Amino acid sequence: MEAPWSPDQVLSTITNVRTFVVVSHTVPLDGEFSLNDLPGGAGRLDILCRCAVEAFLLSHGIRKDARLHLVIRDQFVITLEGQRLRHLNPDERSTAALLRRALALGGELRLGESARSTAGINVCRTGLAELLEELQAAGAALVLLDEGGEPLRSAPLAEHAAFVLSDHRDFAPQELELLDGVQRVSVGPKWLHGHQCITLVHSELDQREAGWTNGLS
């Protein structure tokens, strides 16, 4: 049986966890949408589903050392925790069903409250500023994924980096303000989809861990 947990516990165990923060601007807050229309009525929930799959799924297994925070229109943070995650499959529809359930639960929460939705998925009634503050307080160094940043290949990365990216929209000015001054890292000279960036960050970190590269060249 899964032990109870809370975002506070999650954030205090940031060590050795690859953290991603995806800022979503258009997903409906109430979870009232059809799973047959993820790019339309579900406000590009398909993007978040692909990010979740890339953050956690290996060909035959799950990355237990990964964590994904989905910031939904600055109202909710849905956190997926590799260590406890169950029922995540490669298809977008079943992932969307998990996220829809978390959104519906989020609507019942008061500001600052959090609750477990399904195994390894938690939802908290909070926003981006609070999440970034908590991550930093827990020892994470924020890294903004940005095409114009320093090349990931040679970027010095903090041991506990939290990679922040946006959905299909640009970051809003007030979001960029929160990220002012943080390290900016580029995964390559072309604009990519967010989930592709997550894959490339994992790949770079896998290679550093395996000693294939030291991140200096």
Ligand X SMILES: C[S@@+](CC[C@H](N)C(=O)[O-])C[C@H]1O[C@@H](n2cnc3c(N)ncnc32)[C@H](O)[C@@H]1O
Binding site for ligand X (CB under 6 A): 145-147, 165-166, 168-170, 186-188, 190-194, 197
> Smallest distance from the beta carbon of 50 to ligand X, in angstroms?
11
Taking a C-beta distance cutoff of 8 angstroms, is the pair 13, 39 a contact?
Answer: no
CB of 198 to ligand X, least distance (A): 9
Identify which of residues 15 and 174 has a Cβ nearer to ligand X in the complex.
174
Residues 6+ apart with CB under 8 A from 58: none
- Tell me how many degrees the CA angle 75-191-151 measures, rounded to the nearest 5: 100
Residue carrying the six token digits 């998925």: 121
Find the distance separating the first CA and the last CA of the chain, reported in whole Å: 45
Unique residue bearing structure tokens 């590269």: 213
In whole angstroms, the minimum distance from the beta carbon of 197 to ligand X comes to 5
Choose among 41, 49, 94, 101: nearest CA to 70. Answer: 49
Helix (H) or strand (E) holding 122: strand 121-124
Specify the residue, 160 or 193, whose C-beta has the smaller distance to ligand X: 193
Instruction: Mention every residue, 6+ apart, whose C-beta is less than 8 A from residue 92.
Output: 38, 46, 49, 50, 53
Min separation Cβ 159 and ligand X, Å: 20
Nearer to ligand X, 118 or 163 (CB): 163
Nearer residue to ligand X within complex by CB, 170 or 209: 170
What is the closest distance, in whole angstroms, from the C-beta atom of residue 152 to ligand X in the complex?
A: 8
* Least gap, CB of 86 to ligand X (angstroms): 28
- Give whichever of 40 and 188 is closer to ligand X, judged by the CB atom: 188
Of residues 27 and 187, the one with the C-beta less far from ligand X? 187
CB 19 within 8 Å of CB 69: yes
